[in-house]
Structure 1
Amino acid sequence: MKVILADDEIQVRKGLRMKVDWKEEGFQIVDEASNGQEVLELLQNIKVDVVITDMRMPIMDGVEFAKRCHQDFPTIKVIVLSGYSDFDYVRSSMKEGVRDYLLKPVAPDELNDALRRIRKEIEDERRKQGELAKMSQFVYSHLQEVQEQYLLHLVKDELLQLNLVKDRLRQLHLDNFANENVKVQFLTVEIREDNNNPNRLKELWQPFQMFCREIAKEHRGTYSFYNPSYANMVHFVQLIDLDLENDISNLVKKVQQNAKRFFSLETVIGIGSIVNGLIEFRTGYISSLLSWSQSQLGSHSQVIDQAVTREEGFNFSPDFERRLTNSIENVDFKMFKESLNTVLGEGDNQSVLSFSFVANRVLFLLGSLAKKYDIETNDIQKTIWNCQQSIWELCSQSKVIKYLVQLAQLIIEKVRMTRFSSGKVLMDSIRHYLDEHYGSEISLSLLSELFHINSAYLSETFKNHVGQNFSDYLVNLRMEKAKQFLKDKHLKIIDVANLVGFSNSGYFSTVFKKHFGQTPVEYRNSIE
């Protein structure tokens, strides 16, 4: 644990150093100061756990410093040293953030005892913070979890049958996003630690996610979600509505100020372009990632708003995306290369940022296909990461194209194996898809279109390999998920019904009782 000593007399500071075996007690003195103002300036750049300060100092005394420190750095513990005449004043200042006080001259054993009390207090707080993060896994609303998963799906995966997507959005209480004329803007927020301590980032990751969810709740029409492909990042999507006082700058300011205040973390924020409608969600999301990728190295907080403009980057049409998808799923490598060269091979007349935007769109498409066929092997994941790194470097067009072609070839070979296997590999991919999208409206015809196979063949092969027909498998899957959701008392029965793909709570209750012999309400009461 790190300590700063503050006293206007250098001899006193030297004496404090000699009174304690700091290393043995688990502390490290990282700096010294001669007044409270100097300490506040140091705290802007140093992560500190404890400040030991004299009561009487020029410019800013110990009690005023404690008050300011409590406001700006509430996790730091302050010990004030005072003479006997100041005893009552210092004791009354406990409410201003002073955690302990010692009479001067300080005896070594008293200082040791105070440090041990502080250390135990800090360790207890950290343990409780960890327990709180674990508790949040149970308290955290299942509805919010599924909302976040679906938002990630909207920006990463292929969107077939938009009318079904809109129905699902309404079921998940995300009605505003189903509006054809909706305008949204994405933020990408990365947390960085000034001491380059990856373990501390891991410790604070869950609390920071919770913090972002709370901020999103405070801003109408704003949601946060997490993409496992990007470490230490949270993404926000905000509705742009003239009737709502949604100013993206307010959201940015709140995230950065509070991340610094409560976690002592730096944040790097990329602001995306404003986009229209569901079909441009991925465009808006990638533009926020591209803005973030323009950030400087280092731990200082930054805000980057260099989103791709409509003229530069919004030329990745749905038809072209479908052409690339068909080339992969029809195992036509030549067609993929020709299509890729159409948009990326003739880059002399396009900007670096525009090239990066289109390359990211292609990379997202390939990643989505790898996920759909459940073929996210180590080789594919490594190639995706290498390609993403090359795009962020914004300096090597040929390297990016090379990685995209290499990735497409790996996926095509896996798809070829799936197509010409005994059927097990394909059925495993379909089951994986169902396990992730059971709450959406899924039919055999939709799956046959999605996986480019005949629906009759799909039905027969599914039953042969899974041991039950498609509709029975889907109902069983939905019922097991419903049991999990019913444990969350925050969810109404209609919410649970919607989460598992039923638009009518009455029909859901009928199916549930037929399946388990209890109504959803009876089952919920039985597990209390």
Structure 2
Amino acid sequence: MKVLITDDEIQIRKGLRLKVDWEEEGFQLVEEASNGQEALEILQTQDIDIVITDMRMPIMDGVELAKRCHQEFPHVKVIVLSGYSDFDYVRNSLQQGVKDYLLKPVAPDELVESLRKIRKEIEEEKRKQVEIAQMSQLVHSHLQELQEQFILHLAKEERLQLPIVMERLKQLQLEELANENVKVQFLTVEIRESHDPARLEELKIPFQLLCKEIAQQQNATYVFTDPSYPNMVQFLQLVDSNSSTTNHFVLQLQQTVNKLLKLETVIGIGTIVNGLSEYRSGYISSLLAWSQSQLGSKSQIIDQTAASEEVFDFSPDFERRITNSIENVDFAAFKENLQIVLEGTEGRSVMSFSFAANQVLFMLGSLAKKYDVETKDIQNTIWNCQQNIWKLYSQHKVKEDLIQLATLIIEKVRLARFSNKKLIDSIRHYLDQHYASEISLTTLSALFHINSAHLSETFKQQVGQNFSDYLVNLRMKHAKQLLKDKQLKIIDVSNLVGFSNSGYFSTVFKKHVGQTPVEFRNSIGE
């Protein structure tokens, strides 16, 4: 801890230096000042923890210095030294920020005792500050993680009903994304390092953290990661008509990563899309932009907006037909629909083909995740297919990969559909990911193509409790974890686990846990 001695007599300052083994006690004498004004000037340029000051000095005395420290540097602890005649006056000045006062001439043991007491107080304050910062970061990180997961879900996964999506966006404090008319743009950012691949792995997490820090400094900018692309970070930005804003951000991002991490970046700028229904198109376009980069570790920026005039015709109705062919275990229907999607109209461009192939790949990946059948074979096939799409010239191989992937998934879905245990396991896996959304038996029966009455009966047979009780228990389990973060308000916890009404949440929580959320949180503290 750093100490500043302030006294107008140089002999007194020398004496104070000799009274204490400063290094042994854990202190460092960094500066001296002959009056309060000099001391304030030093405080403005250096990080000082403790000021030892005489009472009577020219220009600015010790009590005035203590007042100014209390106002301008509240973290600084002040010890005032005074003669007998000023003792009561100095003692009264404690309310002005003085932590201790010692009678001159100061005995070494008294000074050491005072310093130790203040050091303990400073250490305790710093410990509490670290705890608060860690808790705040934990709460923020938890919310940020949920936000990232949901944005990834919007960009890749099968759509939930729009009212459910809107409600979840509000719960996650993402209201600005809930506007169907808002324009957004995805950016794909990859780090590259040619000389030392191990260094790339070491810097992957720092790169992700740096991107999050940069995003926090921007308006309406969100970061998420996609497990399918380990060396990449994705950005989602709300945009206006001024494209120069995006270009400036991209250049700044590239320069910052290079300066701080000494890594090259390849950035794919996706087309600007309108509303939630086009998020997947926007995300895919950023990946396709990135895929046109040159090999090698040199920084590049590829802007896909120039190709935005081309219409990628992939209607929700057609998306549903492909999904149904997989979930209905109809391989012939899948091949027929795939042929239509990939060939499209005569004269389709390579870019349009790649875009459509990526759409199908995302859908198949979503179905594999939905039915919890992401085996190693399926993951490898997804990766190989993605690489072939990036090459932009292996259309025949892409079709083969998609058919192979569909074959693997259809077989897994067939087993799930004809095995009650596997079907319920898939549904439980889905609930574990979407417990905070507005999910009902009707929703699940439509998603998994099963009669709701049969689903209700089968669920209870396999799980041992009915669907609604299982969902509530799942939400209560997550609520108890969130309540440990005391920076989260009860209404925040309520929203994050899927209750729009905090009063109803408290009622349900007490019924299942035996305590109100507040009582449960207090019991943890005890």
TM-score greater than 0.5 by the shorter chain: yes
Provide the rounded CA distance (Å) in 2 between the counterparts of 1:164 and 1:497.
16
Provide the rounded CA distance (Å) in 2 between the counterparts of 1:348 and 1:314.
14
Deviations 1:180-236 (A, max 9, x none): 1111000001111242x2322222222221211111111111100010011111100
Asked if residue 366 in structure 1 is aligned to residue 364 in structure 2, the reply is: yes
Provide the rounded CA distance (Å) in 1 between the counterparts of 2:193 and 2:137.
25
Provide the rounded CA distance (Å) in 2 between the counterparts of 1:140 and 1:263.
24
Provide the rounded CA distance (Å) in 2 between the counterparts of 1:343 and 1:311.
19
Asked if residue 145 in structure 1 is aligned to residue 142 in structure 2, the reply is: no
Residue 521 of structure 1 aligns with an amino acid whose one-letter code is V
Deviations 1:445-504 (A, max 9, x none): 000000000000000000100111101111111111111222233422211111100001
Residue 411 of structure 2 aligns with an amino acid whose one-letter code is E
**Contact 2:214/2:253, CA 8 A, preserved across alignment:** yes
Which residue pairs with 1:198 in the alignment?
Answer: 197
Deviations 1:55-104 (A, max 9, x none): xxxxxxxxxxxxxxxxxxxxxxxxxxxxxxxxxxxxxxxxxxxxxxxxxx
How far apart are 1:165 and its partner, in Å? Answer: 0.7
Which residue pairs with 1:316 in the alignment?
Answer: 314
Q: How does 1:198-237 map to 2 (within 5 A)?
A: 198-237=197-236
Provide the rounded CA distance (Å) in 2 between the counterparts of 1:308 and 1:435.
40
Which residue pairs with 1:154 in the alignment?
Answer: 154
Q: How does 1:42-441 map to 2 (within 5 A)?
A: 138=138, 140-195=140-195, 197-241=196-240, 247-307=245-305, 309-345=307-343, 349-421=347-419, 423-441=420-438
Cα separation, partners in 2 of 1:336 and 1:466, compared to 1, 3 Å: same
Provide the rounded CA distance (Å) in 2 between the counterparts of 1:140 and 1:190.
25
**Contact 1:327/1:333, CA 8 A, preserved across alignment:** yes
Which residue pairs with 2:442 in the alignment?
Answer: 445
Provide the rounded CA distance (Å) in 2 between the counterparts of 1:187 and 1:489.
35
Cα separation, partners in 2 of 1:387 and 1:313, compared to 1, 3 Å: farther
How far apart are 1:519 and its partner, in Å? Answer: 2.1
Provide the rounded CA distance (Å) in 1 between the counterparts of 2:430 and 2:469.
16
Residue 170 of structure 1 aligns with an amino acid whose one-letter code is K
Provide the aligned length of Structure 1 versus Structure 2.
392
Provide the rounded CA distance (Å) in 2 between the counterparts of 1:223 and 1:457.
41
Residue 357 of structure 2 aligns with an amino acid whose one-letter code is A
Q: Determine helix, strand or coil for the equivalent of 1:427.
A: helix
Cα separation, partners in 2 of 1:381 and 1:258, compared to 1, 3 Å: same
Q: TM-score normalized by structure 2?
A: 0.72
Provide the rounded CA distance (Å) in 1 between the counterparts of 2:136 and 2:485.
12
Provide the rounded CA distance (Å) in 2 between the counterparts of 1:155 and 1:442.
20
Residue 153 of structure 1 aligns with an amino acid whose one-letter code is H
**Contact 2:139/2:488, CA 8 A, preserved across alignment:** no
Choose from 447, 451, 457 the match for 1:460.
457
Provide the rounded CA distance (Å) in 2 between the counterparts of 1:139 and 1:204.
24
Identity of aligned residues (%): 69
Residue 205 of structure 1 aligns with an amino acid whose one-letter code is K
Provide the rounded CA distance (Å) in 2 between the counterparts of 1:508 and 1:237.
32
Residue 224 of structure 2 aligns with an amino acid whose one-letter code is F
CA RMSD of aligned residues (A): 2.0
Cα separation, partners in 2 of 1:382 and 1:313, compared to 1, 3 Å: farther
Provide the rounded CA distance (Å) in 1 between the counterparts of 2:167 and 2:448.
22
Structure with higher Rg: it is 2
- Give unpaired runs (5+ residues) of structure 1: 1-133
Residue 394 of structure 1 aligns with an amino acid whose one-letter code is L
**Contact 1:269/1:292, CA 8 A, preserved across alignment:** yes
Deviations 1:103-138 (A, max 9, x none): xxxxxxxxxxxxxxxxxxxxxxxxxxxxxxx99984
Question: Structure 1 runs of 4+ off > 6 angstroms?
Answer: 134-137
